[in-house]
């Protein structure tokens, strides 16, 4: 199946890089972005739609809304934030990937429009080329996933930035801080290996120890409630968009 990518910026380009073995064509107003991906450039959206069997929409919502294109019942996969299924062609799958797509570790939630089981399987396999695919049942669940996994990397980076500032105050240089914090995240996730998070906390926080003292400060500051409030704010904004 020939895949046409409309919009070869950060996310479109990242995804294209993991679609090994697929026949790809691309269109972007900046032709150089397509050429940099090593895929064939077409000169218009209309030309791409004529050739492609599946179309990946990776443009800004405003750009999509300005398009006057007949997608001709082609399979459309949209990664545009805020564009609901009802606003897409009937034969569409709406996807919310996240920043992990840049390294083949995306969390991509998806909801299907009027597509066949064969279409659904094709899209799921496509998404698994650059991470994991999680099917949800509605636009509302996509909005919730946006708040969790779409915005989630920024929550993690904000937490790490706070630790980084602490490391600087402790007198560690930037390179040391970066190495420590990056390995901290990687090692902690590998050690958890799917185990319950509460159980993992108990393994680190011995009674009367340093971690317990730190966790008490987080609890006093209502750390979990603040994170939940932040995710809920992201969800409400996703619904507005």
How would you write the pLDDT of the chain (241 residues) with one tens digit per residue? 999 999 999 999 999 999 988 999 999 999 999 999 999 999 999 999 999 999 999 999 999 999 989 999 999 999 998 899 999 999 999 999 999 999 999 999 999 999 999 999 999 999 999 999 999 999 999 999 999 999 999 999 999 999 999 999 999 999 999 999 999 999 999 999 888 999 999 999 999 999 999 999 999 999 999 999 999 999 999 998 8
Distance of CA 178 to the CA centre of its chain: 23
Q: Is-contact 75 53, C-beta < 8 A? A: yes
Do 2-137 and 152-240 share a fold? no
Q: Is-contact 139 241, C-beta < 8 A? A: no
CA distance 212 to 98: 33
User: What fold is seen in the domain 2-137?
Assistant: Rossmann fold (3.40.50)
pLDDT of residue 241: 80
Q: Residue 237's closest CA among 157, 109, 159, 150?
A: 150
> Which residues 6+ apart lie within 8 Å of 140 measured at CB?
239
CA distance 191 to 206: 17
pLDDT of residue 36: 94
CA distance 2 to 112: 20
pLDDT of residue 82: 86
Three-class DSSP labels, 189-213: HHHHCCCCHHHHHHHHCCCCCHHHH
Give domain limits for the chain: 2-137, 152-240
DSSP code of residue 138: S
CATH architecture of 152-240: Orthogonal Bundle (1.10)
> Which residues 6+ apart lie within 8 Å of 146 measured at CB?
81, 96, 234, 235, 238
DSSP code of residue 4: E
CA distance 71 to 187: 46
């Amino acid at each position: 199946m020939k895949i046409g990518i409309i919009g070869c910026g950060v996310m479109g380009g990242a995804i294209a890089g993991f679609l090994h073995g697929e026949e790809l064509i691309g269109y972007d107003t900046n032709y150089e972005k397509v050429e940099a991906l090593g895929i064939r450039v077409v000169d218009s959206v209309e030309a791409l739609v004529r050739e492609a069997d599946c179309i990946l929409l990776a443009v800004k919502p405003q750009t999509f809304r300005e398009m006057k294109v007949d997608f001709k019942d082609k399979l459309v996969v949209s990664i545009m934030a805020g564009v609901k299924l009802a606003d897409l062609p009937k034969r569409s799958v709406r996807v919310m990937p996240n920043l992990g797509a840049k390294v083949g570790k995306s969390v991509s939630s998806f909801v299907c429009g009027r597509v066949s089981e064969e279409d659904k399987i094709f899209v799921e396999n496509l998404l698994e080329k650059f991470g994991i695919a999680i099917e949800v049942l509605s636009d509302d669940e996509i909005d919730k996933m946006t708040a969790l996994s779409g915005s989630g990397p920024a929550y993690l980076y904000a937490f790490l930035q706070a630790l980084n500032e602490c490391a600087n105050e402790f007198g560690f240089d930037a390179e040391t801080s970066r190495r420590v914090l990056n390995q901290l995240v990687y090692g902690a996730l590998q050690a958890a290996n799917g185990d319950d998070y509460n159980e993992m906390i108990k393994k680190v926080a011995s009674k009367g120890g340093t971690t317990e003292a730190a966790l008490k400060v987080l609890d006093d500051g209502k750390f979990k409630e603040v994170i939940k409030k932040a995710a809920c704010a992201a969800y409400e904004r996703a619904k507005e968009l």
